[in-house]
Amino acid sequence: MAVKGPIPRPGVLDIEAYVPGERAVPGGGTPIKLSSNENPLGPSPQAIAAFKAAAADLDRYPDGSASALRKAIGRAHGLNPERIVCGAGSDELLNLVAHAYLGPGDEAICTEHGFLVYRIVTLGSGAKPVVAPEKDLRTDVDAILARVTPRTKMVFIANPNNPTGTYIPFDEVRRLHRGLPAGVLLALDSAYSEYVRRNDYEAGIELVATSENVVMTRTFSKIHGLASLRLGWAYCPAGVADALNRIRGPFNISGAAISAGVAALEDRAHVERSVAHNETWLPWLASEIERLGLKVTPSVGNFLLVHFPVDGRRNADAADAALKANSIIVRKMGGYGLPCALRVTIGTEAENRAVVEALAHFMIGKGS
Ligand SMILES: Cc1ncc(COP(=O)(O)O)c(C=O)c1O
């Protein structure tokens, strides 16, 4: 198509816009939404109260440095607030990091089934995404290191990764970091770190604190149940924090997000309840789905990647349609190069049971 008018910079039109999880089913009604890895318990009641109280100050600009929130994050995680940068979701932070460190001629390495935003922010910065294959749906450090060239400026990994749910032990992350030239920035996306219960796992705090070229991103959208608020944070080396603070919007975090974020961090009991819920229902849902004869990738997150036969009546598209017919929305994975899989977020007990029931009917060929 001939473009009339201004032409976006190279790379922008190569982007396939991110397709969010669906939120409605044909025919209306309130669906069971298991398509975006949200917290089935919702946010802390204290966060909701803080959000409502913030309505009294809507006429004033917020504190542009989100100082109270950075201090609260620092207290909760034992971090220096000066090294924390907040963003409208970790998506914004990933975008900011890419725009600060990537440009035309540069390359950024992402993994085969890595979170799609890495590709989008790389292309949006005019740089080239380079894909490193995974091994058994897991980040492969050697494959990443083999793709480093003088043009490489960034490496993005999510640990655990979305949509696979797999993780690599922190020794592997350290090995990756050791293999990267000092001028390559490693972006460690730890959006699901709170859910992981493995002795060999770390979110990356110490690695950031002891190096100049690692940034860790975190989110309030998952464990804190605040996806609609759009709130995330990055823990950065001083130089990276300085760069992000120069290019971010001066008031990128709303006052309501600052207040609700602080309250969410202070409600440790809610975080623990959310983790405990996941610890109960993640293994339950995985084993119930496996009992139906489907393969499930072992997950340490709050979601499962479920694999369906390649063709025939029991394929992933047919399963998705059958779930939708039962008002259950999960995530199709074609965009992630996994057309035979569906990603299912862990829901409430009733929602998880509804998924198993609908899938059981689907597998034996009954129901809609
Ligand atoms: C791995 C990963 N990183 C980042 C995000 C974005 O989170 P946020 O809501 O903070 O932008 C998601 C959301 O699904 C994710 O799965």
* Residue 311 alpha carbon to ligand 1 centre in Å: 31
> Is residue 41 within 8 Å of residue 270, measured between CB atoms?
yes
Quickly count: other Cβ atoms within 10 Å of residue 332's Cβ. Answer: 19
Given ligand 1 and candidates 23, 85, 162, 220, which is best to mutate, with the most ligand atoms within 8 Å of its CB?
162
> Is residue 250 within 8 Å of residue 64, measured between CB atoms?
yes
Ligand 1 site, CB within 6 A? 37, 89-91, 115, 158, 162, 189, 191, 219, 221, 227, 232
3-state secondary structure of 343: strand
Full pLDDT tens readout for the chain, 368 residues: 566 899 998 889 999 888 888 888 877 788 999 999 999 999 999 999 999 999 999 999 999 999 999 999 999 999 999 999 999 999 999 999 999 999 999 999 999 999 999 999 999 999 999 999 999 999 999 999 999 999 999 999 999 999 999 999 999 999 999 999 999 999 999 999 999 999 999 999 999 999 999 999 999 999 999 999 999 999 999 999 999 999 999 999 999 999 999 999 999 999 999 999 999 999 999 999 999 999 999 999 999 999 999 977 899 999 999 999 999 999 999 999 999 999 999 999 999 999 999 999 999 885 44
* Residue 90 alpha carbon to ligand 1 centre in Å: 6
Between CA 54 and CA 240 the distance in angstroms is 30
Closest residue CA from atom 2 of ligand 1: 191
Between CA 196 and CA 213 the distance in angstroms is 24
For 266, residues 6+ apart whose C-beta sits below 8 A from its C-beta are 46, 72
Between CA 126 and CA 105 the distance in angstroms is 8
